Amino acid sequence: MKKSQILLINDMAGYGKVATAAMLPILSYMGLPTYNLPTALVSNTLDYGKFNILDTTDYIVGVFPVWKELGFTFDAIATGFIASERQAKVVASYCREQAAKGTIIFVDPIMGDEGKLYNGVTLTTIQSMKEMISVADLTYPNYTEACYLTDTIYNKVGQTHEEACALIDKLRQIGAKSVLITSIPIEGQPSVIGFNHYNGEYFILPYTEIPVHFPGTGDIFSAILIGNLLNDLPLKQSTRKAMDAVYRLIDLNKDNEDKNRGIPLEQFLHEVV
């Protein structure tokens, strides 16, 4: 049986298992032919405090015509970090063009966490991510990102069930078909809440937090989620499998000395399935 071909449009870190460096090995391990287009070259994970970033928009602008001429197509595209408003317009236009031909578009609007935007993320970035979400079959912001995208006040204690569903509906109004919101406390319980546009179902999946921070866990979640979806598992089950795998990976690595480099995935790929 032909496996779905997926294109990752995300940044590439030279040092650290985040973004493309985390997603590519997982999706390949899950049996999916995986290709990549870097949105930026990043020296190392931002958690080290110092870093160098090269915006690759000019490179991307030159890639799409070549791929079009060669007839390259993808069954799915997953976007992550977007380096600029110009890049967002270029990538969103390509995704919209491919979606019209049946390509599934996954959008991870990477902007911030714990109520704050990441280093270098601006209000312009938020507008860029809205552009990306407008073409998404599935988007999965964390709670912080969902608040910024919908002009909702971030409440550290979280949301009620009704408020969380309303937050999902605001993201759907931007254009996303299906939505997940990760890392959101609902009635005091850390959860992922979702909406599946195929069956109109809202669902909540609670989880237990391990009080350890690794960069790249969102990318790991994203890759396992997408891998299961492309292997024909429904959204709710795919989400639960991704959540459980991330929990196992964090638990197995929680005593690592240098957590800023992310989880050393090569040793633990058997845990992702």
pLDDT tens across 69-125, in order?
999 999 999 999 999 889 999 999 999 999 999 999 999 999 999 999 987 788 888
Question: Does the pLDDT value for residue 48 go beyond 70?
Answer: yes
Q: In angstroms, what CA-CA distances link 263 with 13, 15, 126?
A: 13, 12, 28
Please tell me the pTM assigned to this model.
0.96
pLDDT reported for residue 3: 83
27-51 average pLDDT score: 95
- Of the CA atoms within 13 Å of residue 93, those in its CB half-sphere come to 10
Question: Does the pLDDT value for residue 4 go beyond 90?
Answer: yes
pLDDT tens across 134-191, in order?
999 999 999 999 999 999 999 999 999 999 999 999 999 999 999 999 999 999 999 9
Burial of 110 (0-12, 13-18, 19+ CB in 10 A): buried
Between CA 107 and CA 110 the distance in angstroms is 9
Question: Does the pLDDT value for residue 1 go beyond 60?
Answer: no
Residues 181 and 218: beta-carbon distance below 8 Å: no
Q: Please state the φ and ψ torsions of residue 164, each to the nearest 5 degrees.
A: -65, -40
pLDDT reported for residue 122: 83
**Confidence at 133, pLDDT banded by 50, 70, 90:** very high
What is the rounded average pLDDT for all residues in the chain? 95
